[in-house]
Every structure is written in C-alpha cells, then in structure tokens.
Chains A and B, each alone.
Chain A
Amino acid sequence: QVQLVESGGGVVQPGRSLTLSCAASGFIFGHYAMHWVRQAPGKGLEWVAVIAYDGSNIYYPDSVKGRFTISRANFRNTLYLQMNSLRPEDTAVYYCAREEYGEYYFDNWGQGTLVTVSS
C-alpha cells in the first residue's frame, strides 16, 4: 500500500535551517508530482511547495519563496524540503502529499512532522 513517512521535524531557533524528508513506498515514486503542505497549530491547511515527477517544475507560494527549497531523489524514493531563515510563523505540522501526473489533487498524505520555530 502507499506509504508516505515524514521525518526531520523538531525545535529550531529563528533564523536557523532545517531539512525535512518524506520516504515513499508502495508506488512508483518517479511517476508522481509531490507536495509539501503545512498546518499551523489550530489553523487551516497551507500549500508550501510542489515538484514535478522529474523535478522539472517547482512552485512555491510567496510566503516561503526564497527561503524553502523542495527537491527529490527518485532513486531513493525520497522527497525533501530544505527550510532556511526560519520564522516563528513557520511553526506547523508539515505533510508530504502525492499528486498523480496531470491531476490536481492530493490522493495520499503522510502523517506529518512537527516543526517548532522558537528561541
């Protein structure tokens, strides 16, 4: 079955960096676009980044553009999110999610990893 397992969350000071990982299994990872979506405590969902199945296209919302970098290693079935210059408002549970090529919805989600930005 499809599994997405995030890791790398934790407590980090403002201005520092953190890298999240998402290990995929149960499907052909290289056939799917992958996303990061976050949810601040008690708040709604916020889309963070997308990377095409082959890494050819990448998009971010303005809130993280220039600070976050999404990447993937298809040979490792792994998705990454490098987060630099972290701010307290980046505190959230970060989910990775799968999107089939040519479709525009998230058909599978990981369980999430919590990132807390605090001094």
Chain B
Amino acid sequence: QSVLTQPPSVSAAPGQEVTISCSGTSSNIGNNYVSWYQQLPGTAPKLLIYDNEKRPSEIPDRFSGSKSGTSATLGITGLQTGDEADYYCGTWHGGRRVFGTGTKVTVL
C-alpha cells in the first residue's frame, strides 16, 4: 500500500557513505515536505529528518536530507555499525499520511 518507493536495501563499509532515494508523485512529495525515520531492530521508529532537510537537535550532522521534484534523498556519511537499521521516508496528501516502502541499511 506504500505509494512512496524506496530501494529495499543499501550497504557500505564503515566510514563510507550511503544514499537512500524516495520516489513519489506531484500529489505527495512534489507538493509537500518529506520526513525520514530510523527504525533500529526491535524498536519504534525515530524521527531523523523533517521538512525535507532539517534535523532534530539530537541527530548528528552525518544524516542529511534533500528533495528535488517528486523525489527525496537521505544521506548518511561516516557510516557506523550503529546505523544498521530500516529507514522510511514519509509525507502527506490530502490529510492522509504515507510512508515509503522502507530501506534496510547494512554496514559491511
């Protein structure tokens, strides 16, 4: 039921960089802000990025967000083993909220 498409998985070695794409349409991402959530194994999701590119104060600047047209991107630099998690993008349309399909990040 997800209307936002993400790659199922990405991986990189410690210290490297990964990017996760989130593809939508003009009805959702194209006209609204995007947020990103990190879900560590066995835990609840946690807000990582909001309003396309803003970070809550407790989130390190290794995490970044951007948006262009109907797509958004999450970047993680200086990859750490603790970053192994599922990542979801989210936005809204007509009062309803939608999530991406989710991407599993693996640190090799």
Q: How many residues of A contact B (CB 8 A)?
A: 24
CB distance from B106 to the nearest CB of A (A): 16
The reply to whether A106 and B37 contact each other, CB–CB distance below 8 Å, is: yes
Compute how far the CA of A112 lies from the CA of B39 in the bound complex, rounded to whole angstroms.
13
The reply to whether B44 and A105 contact each other, CB–CB distance below 8 Å, is: no
Compute how far the CA of A50 lies from the CA of B101 in the bound complex, rounded to whole angstroms.
20
A44-B98 contact in complex given A105-B90, A107-B50, C-beta closer than 8 Å? no
Contacts A/B (CB < 8 Å), 25 sampled: A35-B97, A37-B99, A44-B2, A44-B100, A44-B101, A45-B39, A45-B90, A46-B1, A46-B2, A47-B96, A47-B99, A50-B97, A60-B96, A61-B96, A95-B44, A95-B45, A103-B50, A104-B97, A105-B90, A107-B47, A107-B56, A108-B47, A109-B45, A110-B44, A111-B44
Chain B residues close to A by CB (< 8 Å): 1-2, 32-33, 35, 37, 39, 43-47, 50-51, 56, 86, 88, 90-92, 95-102
Chain A 25-49 per-residue mask, 1 if CB under 8 angstroms from chain B, else 0: 0000000000101000000111100
The reply to whether A45 and B96 contact each other, CB–CB distance below 8 Å, is: no
* Chain A residues whose CB sits within 8 angstroms of the CB of B95 once the complex forms: 50, 57, 59
In chain A, residues 30-84, which have Cβ atoms closer than 8 Å to a Cβ of chain B? Answer: 35, 37, 44-47, 50, 57, 59-61, 63
